[in-house]
Structure 1
Amino acid sequence: MTFLEPLLLWGLPLALLPVIIHLFNRLRHRSINWAAMMFLLSATRKSTRYAKLRQWLILLFRVLALLVLIVAISRPLAGGWIGWMLHPAPDAIIMVLDRSASMEARLPGGSASKRAEAARLLAQTAKGYEETSRFILFDTALRTPQEIGDPLSLPQLSVAAATDTAADLPATLQAVLDWVTRTRPGNLEIWLASDLQRSNWQPDSDRWLAITTQLAGLPQNVRVRLLAMDQPPAGESSSIAITEVHRRYRSEPPELDLVINIERNNPAQAVLPLTVANDGNRAQVDLQVQGQSFRYRHKMVIESATAAGWGRVEIPSDDNPRDNSAYFVFGPPVVLKTAVISTDPAAGRVLQLSAAPIPGDTNRVADLLSVEQAESAPLADYSLVLWNAPLPKGEAAKKLRQFAEGGGSVGIFAPGDPGQFEGLAYGETQTAETDKSWALSRWEEKEGLLAKTDEGLSLPLNELFFTRRQPLSGEKNVLAAFEDGGPFLVRRVTGRGEIVFCASSPSPEWSNLREGLVLVPLVQRLLENGGRRFTQAGQMVCGQLGEAASGETWISVDGYKDPRTQAGVYRSGNRLVAVNRPAAEDEPEILDSGKARSLFGRVRVQLFAEPKQGESKLQSELWRAFLFAMLLFLLAEAILALPPKPEPAAPRLAREGGPA
């Protein structure tokens, strides 16, 4: 037997209060021997034995009544056959409903979505427990408890409606655990309905171990029932997402550049109509798509170089209408600033011109700073830091690391002296033999910093030559390498930003990088990546706006929508924000139901399709039985405490000779 409130068992000694009171009462009376009483005591000895027995029974029942009362308020649980006999239904049923965008896929052969069907099945199953159990709903979008009176109303509730959010299952289960710890319900079942999308379950997260440990450590019995809505789509399905929005502010007329990703479950070549709506205008483009992933750049003319607005891209509706559209916003150009720190004046000037190559361009600004100035400069205002000096240490290194973690880009060029920063180390400087140099033989040009241009042209990395270099060592992602296999350009992701290490320098004594054919595109791409936290500030994923609102009032400009759960365009004052579903919702990988069950460790997990097993191991609360026993003890004590009935008086004898 276990207890939900074990600390209250410290009150068990209070059950001895009737005994203590009885002993104190005996001390109040003193026995005095009186000769005349000896005859009376002898005459009533038999009745005295009965009176003592009754008093001892009254005392026993009072002690037992207090004892079972203390045990009852400690909320005992019993397992085995007792738990099976006393387990008609769980005390609380927690329903966890996956409301992610992927749950809006229609079931094969029907028109209902996976979410709607899951809500219906949960409500139908809960109907059988309506008279005996409490129902608490946790949805993955809001993760707040909602008690439900009538389980059949579940499909109609707003907290069970469709959303454009992702589902963080570990975070939702942690919210459930927090509620259980706070409210301490009795016997408990968790009904979990999900499509088992891997990105939502995050099976590699360390949080699962903490969750299963807490679940297994609860004093009450917990069982998880899994409703797996993992049916594959019946027909072809496509999703669309906008990954980047760029203004071509120097083009004439001004243009907006949209980078669009399309994911498909059928890799065969097909024609996919794309509709782009902006400012009341609609344009359609027929895309020749092939493969499961397809990237498309769409250029559209905007009113002026400083215009602001919003729009939407759409593809034809399919099995999941939630992933067939995406939103974008645009505003006036944002100034992108670069901080150049260099101890070599010539190399510093080359880097400065690479970051701001057009004089008079107010949207590209490059500041040349000394190492001392960089330590006090407000790096949060910059998009890119180019470092061509001895590697930072101490507070300077910490500041540069925080800048990258916050979303900035850092480019580090060979410092000349050996050193280490963020797990990458520069070795001793190597100098090529006379009339010889190193060249590059391998680089990544499909995507990233060295990718081909929009016109499909490759960057001329094969024309670069290097007379000096510093070997790079450490865990790294190599973007380009020398002919002898040594890394030339290495990228490290840090937080929301990136750090790129170059094995050479733009100084004339080191290489011909100063010519700019490779350096300028490389630096400009780094600048754009680091500037996304400014230029893409109007692009958010669903669920993020509610966290970042901080008391702001957001109003939908394309209908009545909830900014916490619905994709769309929202306005707060003069600020426009496009909210789209998370990119992870387009990932097709589904978790195997067996793998999902194994994530719960020692906690019993049962699929809804399986018969109930292990009922003999169920636990049930016994406090009602203990309260009933207390009432019986008090009733017995009251009956014994009743005074005995008086004996009827004997009739008086008539005087002698008179009438009787």
Structure 2
Amino acid sequence: MVLLSPTFLWLALAAIIPIAIHLLNRRRHRTVKWAAMQFLLKASRETRGKKRLRHILILTCRALALAALAFAAAQPVIGGFFGLGAGKPDVIVVIFDRSASMEASPLNTGNSRREIAIGRLKGALDDFSGSRIVLIDSASGTPQELPSPEVLDELSTTAGTDTEAHFPALLARAAEYLIHTQGRSEIWVVSDLQASNWRPEDGQWEATRAALTTLPQPPRIRILGMVGRNAANQAIRALGARRAGDSLVLSMEIVRTDEATQPITLPLSIQMDGAVISESVAISGQQLQLQKTVPVPADREQGHGWVSLPGDGNLRDNVAFFAYGPARPVKSLVVGDPGEASTYLTLAAAPDGFGGQSATLSPPQALPELSEISTVFWSAPLPAGEAAKSLERFLDRGGQVVFFPPEADEGGDFLQLAWQATTESQADQFFILSQWDHGDGLLRDSLDGTPIPADRLRSIRRRVPTGEAAVLASWDDGQPFLTRRVIGDGVVWMVGTRPDYTWSNLGDADVLLPLAQRAVEAGSKRFETGLLAEVGSRRALGAGNEAHERVDRYPQEDRAAESYLAGVFRTGDGLLAVNRPADEDVVGVLDEPTLDLLFEGTDHSLFEDQRASAADSLGRPVWQALMVAMLLFLLSEALLCLPKKAAAEAAQTASTGHLRSFR
């Protein structure tokens, strides 16, 4: 319960006035025995206990009526979101989540969680008239003072977007704003509690907590979690658009973000350069990766389009945009000395029958210009000096570098990544690859679900990669075999053995070929005129956050700025397809224990709202009920004060009889 005007609680002291008057009246009267009155006392002795009870009830009704009046004047509001409060704050900072996941609809309702949240906020803030309201939306992160809660659903800063949220930074921005604000303050956080937006592992949380707790008047933090089961929903993502001669190969992924598990068939629509292609797609699990080949006129240099699903529980994740440019050859570079390993790597990077692909061999001492290279396969000692700087620039611009162990044990590191010393297996035994990520990385399953036979890999010599990197495959003894580290827009891969039969059978095509081709495909994406980017990323915003011209004709009715929406934009380099961040399709809600750790040391509370109606209020004012209670107490007091007919007649009869006796 929150008291919007707690100072009026002092009126509750008036409840002691009837009690004080009663006590004073008892002291003012003295008992004088009078013989004639003994007859009257005897007549009324039987009802004395009832009269005392009536007096106590009358006194209680008077005191409760005054107390109810005092509490009604304090304007109490009850509701789980408000909990126990200490009065109306001077400033309320509302952090509003308008990420793409907030457009999901709860089960059995047609409103999105964002729309429901706006309705909740309007009702709650109406009860806090007189408090300054400051809105910080998750897309812009800019504080905006609101003239009235009624404008919430009319603002562009509460409209739906295709962005993600960064709550450590948003709360730090709220703390920065409150430094210059006087008076009591509260922070209201409205979110669907999607874990990827709260980033519990982000190192900024420590600084954010310190900023909140060291304010002159630390704010109370109320978190409104828009949670509960979602309506049936499927999301589509564009993974790539590769020009291959007169065709465009579209790679995409469909993810089911609800809890349903039964197989479904969905209509898939591909619209490209004004032409529409429709077909059905069957999904048996939670996700499906697929490729579609679309013909492209040979004389068309570039183009764009989108893939879409029918409307469901979240309209923001039913479309993914793509763009493409002219076909161009894919060039790879193999760095190492001539030998068996370099030969196998060259063949895997540009196998026979793969038109448009080529690979050249270069010694590490004479590294060529990398501006035309998509992927580097490095089987020499780790680079240093100018070679290392050249590779860093290459990675920052989206290149892929795959490191294999050098023949000899040599020290050194590259971006804090290194090799352990060479180890050999025992006689007549092998190091066997037993665990690898089937859904991610260079050893992931194919689009039709067929796994790579990586368990056929046998090695008698290996070097274990070390350094801060994600492990995507491990040997049977748990040591890493394949690691990945993202550098800029590119990726560094480290493979724990060489494609050399004195080391392993990695040179066999069943493992090395798909591994190399996936690295080549990822590296070649940086040369596409129509690049893929995520909303809010550095690539999408461009240098200096310049405005891009939107060229797609996908219908949009949002009030949000185009920089917060997905689409195809024309930039100085060509076309750029911008889509919502991939993390917005990841199902996962932050639990309360983790939330308590993030806000450790602050005065915070969580209210999980699972109601589906936008008209429901977060709090309910109860002053009307208290006023009704006061009237009932006064009415009861008046009824108790009325003389009872039987008692009055008895007293009158007794008095008349005594008077006659005196005659």
Q: CA deviation at 1:100?
A: 0.8
Distance 1:300 1:129, change over 3 A: same
Aligned-residue offset at 1:429: 6.7
Equivalent residue letter for 1:176:
A
Q: Give, in angstroms, the shift of residue 232 of structure 1.
A: 1.9
How far 1:574 moved relative to its partner?
Answer: 6.6
Distance 2:474 2:215 in 1: 55
Are the aligned partners of 1:489 and 1:500 in contact in 2 as well (CA < 8 Å)? Answer: no
The answer on 1:411 being equivalent to 2:402 is yes
- Equivalent residue number for residue 169 of structure 1: 167
**DSSP 3-state at the match of 2:563:** coil
Using the TM superposition, name which of 309-318 and 397-406 deviates more: 397-406
The 2-side partners of 1:340 and 1:606 are apart by 57
Q: Distance in 2 between matches of 1:480 and 1:100?
A: 33
Q: Is the 8 A contact 1:256 1:302 kept in 2?
A: no
One-letter amino acid of the counterpart of residue 601, structure 2: R
**Residue 144 of structure 1: how far off its partner (Å):** 0.9
CA, structure 1 residues 602+347, in 2 after alignment: closer, same or farther (shift >3 Å)? Answer: closer
Please state if 1:197 is matched with 2:182.
no
Q: Is the 8 A contact 1:491 1:498 kept in 2?
A: no
Structure 2: distance between partners of 1:287 and 1:553: 34
Tell me what 1:14 maps to: none
Could you tell me which residue of structure 2 aligns to residue 540 of structure 1?
533
On the 8 A contact 2:270/2:308 being kept in 1, the answer is yes
1:287 and 2:287 matched = no
Aligned to 2:645: none
How far residue 527 of structure 1 moved from its aligned partner, in angstroms, is 1.5
193-202 vs 341-350, which moves further = 341-350
Indicate whether 1:524 and 2:492 are aligned: no
Matches of 2:605 and 2:502, distance apart in 1: 69
> 1:493 — aligned with what?
485
Any residues of structure 2 matched to 1:569-608 within 5 Å, and which? 569-572=568-571, 575-593=574-592, 595-607=594-606
Contact kept, 8 Å, 1:344 with 1:388, in 2: the verdict is: no
What are the within-5 Å matches in structure 2 for residues 356-375 of structure 1? 356-357=350-351, 363-374=356-367
Counterpart amino acid of 2:550? I
Which residue matches 2:154? 156
Q: Deviations over 1:362-387 (max 9, x none)?
A: x434343222222xx44465332222
Classify 1:143/1:301 alpha carbon distance in 2 versus 1 (closer, same or farther; 3 Å). same
Conserved 8 A contact 2:162-2:565 = yes
Q: Which amino acid is 1:111 matched to?
A: G
For the pair 1:274 / 2:268, whether they are aligned, the reply is yes
What per-residue deviation string (whole Å, max 9, x for no partner) do you get for residues 437-491 of structure 1? 958564648444234555776666677776x633436478776677x75969422
| CA distance in structure 2 between the aligned counterparts of 1:606 and 1:471, rounded to whole angstroms | 50
SS of residue matched to 1:196: coil
**What is the letter of the counterpart of residue 279 of structure 1?**
D
Mapped to 1, the partners of 2:549 and 2:361 lie a distance apart of 40
1:227 aligns with 2:224: yes
AA of the residue aligned to 1:584:
D
1:141 aligned partner, one-letter code: A
- Whether 1:328 and 2:322 are equivalent positions in the alignment is yes
User: Structure 1 residues 564-573 or 553-562, which shifts more?
Assistant: 553-562
Deviations 1:148-185 (A, max 9, x none): 1122111111111111111111111122222233x334
Change (3 A) 1:371 1:602: same
Residue 442 of structure 2 aligns to a residue whose secondary structure is coil
Q: What residue identity is the alignment partner of 2:229?
A: P
Mapped partners of 1:460, 1:595: distance in 2:
39
1:140 corresponds, among 138, 144, 158, to 138
Aligned counterpart for 2:296 among listed residues 263, 279, 302: 302
Q: Is residue 206 from structure 1 mapped to residue 203 from structure 2 by the alignment?
A: yes
Alpha-carbon offset, residue 200 of structure 1: 0.9
Q: Which amino acid aligns with 1:490?
A: L
Name the counterpart of 1:427: 421
- C-alpha distance after superposition, 1:383-407 (max 9, x if no partner): 3222222333456456546644654
Q: 1:533 and 1:314 mapped to 2: Cα distance? A: 24
One-letter identity of the residue aligned with 2:261: P
2:338 corresponds to which residue?
344
Q: For 2:196, what is the secondary structure of its paired residue? A: helix
Asked if 2 retains the 8 angstrom alpha-carbon contact of 1:312 and 1:325, the reply is yes
Aligned residues of 1:383 and 1:409 also touching (Cα < 8 A):
yes
Provide the TM-score with structure 1 as the length reference: 0.69
Q: Which amino acid aligns with 2:325?
A: G
* 1:611–1:594 CA distance, 2 compared to 1 (3 A): farther
1:91 Cα deviation from its structure 2 partner? 2.7
| Contact preservation (8 Å) 2:465, 2:481 | no
- Shifted more, 94-103 versus 334-343: the winner is 334-343
**Residues 244, 260 of structure 1: 8 Å contact kept:** no
* 300, 312, 319: which one aligns with 2:313: 319
Q: Offset of 1:305 from its aligned partner?
A: 7.6
Cα shift readout 1:236-289 (whole Å, capped 9, x = no counterpart): 22222222323333xxx5242322232242111122222222222222222221
2:549 equivalent among 554, 568, 571: 554
Provide the rounded CA distance (Å) in 1 between the counterparts of 2:435 and 2:592.
41
**Structure 2 residue matching 1:564: 3-state secondary structure:** helix
Distance 2:364 2:463 in 1: 23
Opposite residue 168 of structure 1, the aligned amino acid is H
Aligned with 1:220: secondary structure? coil
Query: Which amino acid is the alignment partner of residue 564 of structure 1?
Result: S
Change (3 A) 1:518 1:213: closer
In the TM superposition, residue 414 of structure 1 has moved relative to its aligned partner by 3.2
Aligned to 2:250: 257
Aligned residue in 2 for 1:48: none
Q: 1:187 to 1:511 in 2, by over 3 A?
A: closer
Q: Distance in 2 between matches of 1:162 and 1:514?
A: 51
Report SS of the residue matched to 2:562.
coil
Q: CA deviation at 1:134?
A: 2.2
What is the distance in 2 between the residues matched to 1:223 and 1:357?
63
SS class of match (1:172): helix
Task: Summarize the Cα distance change of 1:138–1:356 in structure 2 as closer, same or farther, 3 Å threshold.
Answer: same
For residues 523 and 569 of structure 1, the distance between their equivalents in structure 2, rounded to whole angstroms, comes to 30
In the TM superposition, what are the counterparts of 1:29-48 in structure 2 within 5 Å? none
Residues 405 and 494, structure 1, Cα contact 8 Å, conserved in 2: no
Deviations 1:300-326 (A, max 9, x none): 222238542222222221122111221
Q: CA deviation at 1:432?
A: 9.3
Give the direction of change, closer, same or farther, for the CA distance of 1:590–1:248 in structure 2 (3 Å limit): same
Q: Which residue type is aligned with residue 241 of structure 1?
A: R
Q: Aligned partners of 1:301, 1:364: CA distance in 2, in Å?
A: 21
Return the letter of the residue paired with 1:244.
G
Name the count of aligned residue pairs: 513
For each residue in 1:539-596, what CA deviation from the matched residue of structure 2 results, as whole angstroms up to 9, or x when unmatched? 1112226632532432343256733111222223672222211111112211234643
SS at match of 1:419: coil
TM-score of the superposition, structure 2-length normalised? 0.68
Deviates further, 335-344 or 140-149:
335-344
**What secondary structure is seen at the aligned counterpart in 2 of 1:129?**
coil
Which segment is superposed worse, 345-354 or 275-284? 345-354
8 Å contact from structure 2 (residues 309, 318) kept in 1:
yes
CA distance in 2, matches of 1:464, 1:113: 49
- Which residue does 1:469 correspond to in 2? 461
| In structure 2, distance between residues paired with 1:204 and 1:480 | 23
For the 8 Å contact 1:344–1:507, the answer to whether it is kept is no
Identity %: 32
Question: Whole-Å Cα distance in 2 between the matches of residues 407 and 572 of structure 1?
Answer: 18
SS at 1:244's partner residue? strand
Instruction: Report the equivalent of 1:126.
Output: 125
Decide whether aligned partners of structure 1 residues 194 and 423 sit closer, same or farther in structure 2, where only a CA change above 3 A counts. Answer: same
**Contact 1:136/1:147, CA 8 A, preserved across alignment:** yes
